[in-house]
A and B are shown apart, each in its own frame.
Chain A
Amino acid sequence: MKIFEAAKAPIRWEERNVTAIRGPGGKWMIPPDAKESMDKNKIGLKGPLKTPIAAGHPSMNLLLRKTFDLYANVRPCVSIEGYQTPYTDVNLVTIRENTEGEYSGIEHVIVDGVVQSIKLITEQASKRIAEYAFEYARNNQRASVTAVHKANIMRMSDGLFLRKCREAAEKYKDVKFTEMYLDTVCLNMVQDPTQFDVLVMPNLYGDILSDLCAGLIGGLGVTPSGNIGANGVAIFESVHGTAPDIAGKDLANPTALLLSAVMMLRHMGLHGHAKKIETACFDTIRDRKVLTKDLGGNSKCSEFTEAICQKMKDMD
């Protein structure tokens, strides 16, 4: 928030808490005032939320997704100068279907010892995500879209997804369309990530691949992410964990949240401000003077923020 003030971005913040509460009827949902606020503003920025394994209520993130029908998760992965990883020149975007697929949460115990989990693929959702992917590619001057699937094994489900992608490709002839098996993508990704541009895929593959790409550029601490929903709703978030061990100690790396906020500005059309903040952030990291612990430095979070604000003042 401090950085946004320094950048004089025309944003007003409304903070809301999204701990799950049990509504009338016993269903878990997010607090109604949070929902109202989102519906009014349409754009949100979110920090990490904890999901305990095998808890009684569904994951908070899933709940948010269902409430606002956030169907596309977009994660651009760009190599950051100044933060060395074994992979350089990574510049790709993973677009992942966010509402169905393997994460529909439908599981049953058939007999004792046999569990069945259902992966749902619908025509509507596949069509929506495919069209979004091509829209995104067109709006951001991306050359090609690759559909990632496993249709040789999951013939009907991924076959449906693939068909929808092909149909969408027909409508967007200016963007090149290719399809590739999941295993081939994984194989090539770790050998040469520069060959990929925009990747579109169903939920589970998207989860794995987007984290794989995040690992290529340096981890979740530097990866922005945005969730686009129906009705123009968009929530941008940092995807790393809650890191309870360093909470409140001014040690965290704010880059992921910051870059997500930059994505948010771009989405809203405030390209000027977005560029300013992004450049300041990258310059600070490139200088390598004031870095938080996970990036290899020794500074505190507030010092990092100060350095970025300083850079922006210098730019004015």
Chain B
Amino acid sequence: MTTRSMRALSGTLKPLFSPRSPQRYVVAACHQTHKSTYTTIAPPARYGGRHTVTLIPGDGIGPELAKHVCELFRFCCVPVDFEVVNVDSTKTSEDDINNAIMAIRRNGVALKGNIETNHNLPPSYKSRNSLLRTTLDLYASVMHTQSLPGVRTHHRNIDIITIRENTEGEYSSLEHENVPGVVECLKIITRTKSLRIADYAFRTAREKGRRRVTAIHKANIMKLGDGLFLECCKEVASGYPEITFDSMIIDNTTMQLVSKPQQFDVMVMPNLYGNVVSNVCAGLVGGPGLVPGANYGENYAVFETGTRNTGKSIANRNTANPTAMLLASCLLLDHLKLHGYASMIRKAILSTITDSQLHTADLGGKGSTSEMVQSIMNAIQSSGPRTQRH
């Protein structure tokens, strides 16, 4: 497809491509390159090999978790500097979020906490998180849920990657009230975006050696909308013969997920079903405190906790589970090609999780956030020389 060659082009001619023009899918003949270039181009490292990453603390437990991430990175001497941009969710002006978006455009990568949306405000106040995702065109939200050792759950041996279309579908925020008392909300499905997300899903499946991709839909009711999505997935599937493709209706999917989640491998779906399915999967492996999420676009990547909660009720009490945010920061490091640091931190996190004494309240324990982070730092210190002497 042309987009791949366009991306390859933009990679080599990066300095000439500013401001970044929106990529358009143009049908033209070109040679197939299976390797996607966006994963091989790391954001340019500046100032002596150190990366600059935008950090948006967000609301609720976001700020304290962001602090822990900074501490951990400093402890491990990770060559990343954080540019902190605060977004105040109580203000109605969009300056804050625009500053954040500008910063992400500058740095190319971001780590963020969830920004609260007060739904009692008038509809002109758009969800800040949504705004960020659509403006930066972060079209794929990827969540890899795996059963973690040491965490007690109803089901075991779960390993599902959920890939969710992040910019259209039900979240287009297009609503109007034609007649008082009757509200219409539009759900938009386009061929371009469906093809794009399906392509992303199959590429990811191939890269990670996955055998099966399942498309989730409700085409028996929403025949045109989800029918289009399904058609696009089938089209893309034909280009990946080694990967099995099947589809499942969303209600059957949720039922199967609570009875036999081990049957799923990679799942791709539009926005709203993605919300439901990713939250169900997160619940199955132990809750919102354990799963990291990543939002990928053609030019930007933003990492956050998988289930996007603000955790208002547990804010500032030192009881939040830092695992999700820390694993998200590992994904960030992988994206920046700092694999050594990523695997070091990940190993330490997994060894801490297996110790049930340290489990925080969401896992049924009595540990605190700082205790968990301290234990992770100890694990890293004992595993190698790459740490700062405290």
Contacts and interface: CB of A to CB of B under 8 A. Distances in A.
A, B: real partners = yes
Interface of A: 51, 53-54, 59, 62, 85-87, 102-103, 105, 107-109, 112-124, 150-160, 162, 182-184, 186-191, 204, 207-212, 214-216, 218-220
Contact of A182 (B221, B228, B275): B275
A116 B188 contact: yes
B77 interface: no
Query: What 6 A-B pairs have minimum CB-CB distances, sorted nearest first?
Result: A215-B255, A113-B191, A190-B283, A211-B251, A123-B181, A86-B154
A120 B184 contact: yes
Secondary structure of the B contact surface, majority rule? mixed
Contact of A102 (B183, B222, B258): B222
Contacts of B119: 151-152, 155, 158-159, 162
Contacts of A156: 123, 175-177, 183, 185
A121 B183 contact: yes
B259 interface: yes
Contacts of B171: 153
B381 interface: no
11 contacts: A62-B221, A102-B222, A112-B191, A113-B190, A114-B191, A115-B228, A117-B187, A153-B170, A208-B254, A211-B254, A215-B259
Contacts of A218: 259
B129 to A, nearest CB: 9
B189 A115 contact: yes
A57 to B, nearest CB: 11
B155 interface: yes
B184 A115 contact: no
A123 B127 contact: no
Contacts of B170: 102, 119, 153-154
Contacts of B251: 207-208, 210-212
A204 B222 CA distance: 11
B100 to A, nearest CB: 18
Nearest to B188: A116
A211 B180 CA distance: 33
A211 B276 contact: no
Interface string B157-201: 000000000000011010111001111111111111000000000
B181 A122 contact: yes
B329 to A, nearest CB: 22
A68 B122 CA distance: 36
A54 B230 CA distance: 12
Given A114-B188, A187-B280, A219-B259, 20 more contacts: A54-B219, A86-B155, A113-B228, A115-B189, A115-B228, A116-B225, A117-B186, A117-B222, A117-B225, A120-B184, A123-B181, A150-B275, A153-B170, A154-B173, A155-B175, A157-B175, A187-B279, A190-B154, A190-B258, A210-B251
Contacts of B122: 155
Nearest to B175: A156
Contacts of A150: 272, 275
Contact of B258 (A62, A152, A215): A215
A119 B189 contact: no
B182 A183 contact: no
A151 B116 CA distance: 12
A155 B123 contact: yes
A155 B222 CA distance: 22
Interface string B116-130: 010100110101001
A155 B174 CA distance: 10
A66 to B, nearest CB: 13
A155 B119 CA distance: 6
A112 B231 CA distance: 14
Nearest to A120: B184
B190 A114 contact: yes
Contact of A154 (B185, B219, B225): B185
Contact of A51 (B190, B220, B273): B220
A105 B226 CA distance: 12
A119 B173 CA distance: 12
Interface string B247-278: 00011101111110000000000001101100
A162 B251 CA distance: 23
Contacts of B252: 211
Nearest to A53: B220
Contacts of B123: 155-156, 159
A210 B69 CA distance: 39
Contacts of A183: 275-276, 279, 307-308
Contacts of A209: 254
Contacts of A85: 259
Contact of A115 (B117, B224, B283): B224
A150 to B, nearest CB: 8
B187 A119 contact: yes
B247 to A, nearest CB: 10
B287 interface: yes
Nearest to B247: A53
Contacts of B221: 59, 62, 102-103, 105
B284 interface: yes
A187 B224 contact: no
Contacts of B286: 191
A126 to B, nearest CB: 9
A87 B180 CA distance: 44
A202 B276 CA distance: 15
B227 interface: yes
Contact of B186 (A119, A152, A155): A119
B25 to A, nearest CB: 10
Contacts of A115: 188-190, 224-225, 228
B60 interface: no
A184 B283 CA distance: 9
Interface in B271-300: 272-273, 275-276, 279-280, 282-284, 286-288
Give the interface centre of B190, B191, B255, B307 by most chain A CB atoms within 10 Å.
Answer: B255
B281 to A, nearest CB: 9
B190 A215 contact: no
Contacts of A152: 117, 119, 127
Contacts of A153: 117, 127, 130, 170-171, 173
B318 interface: no
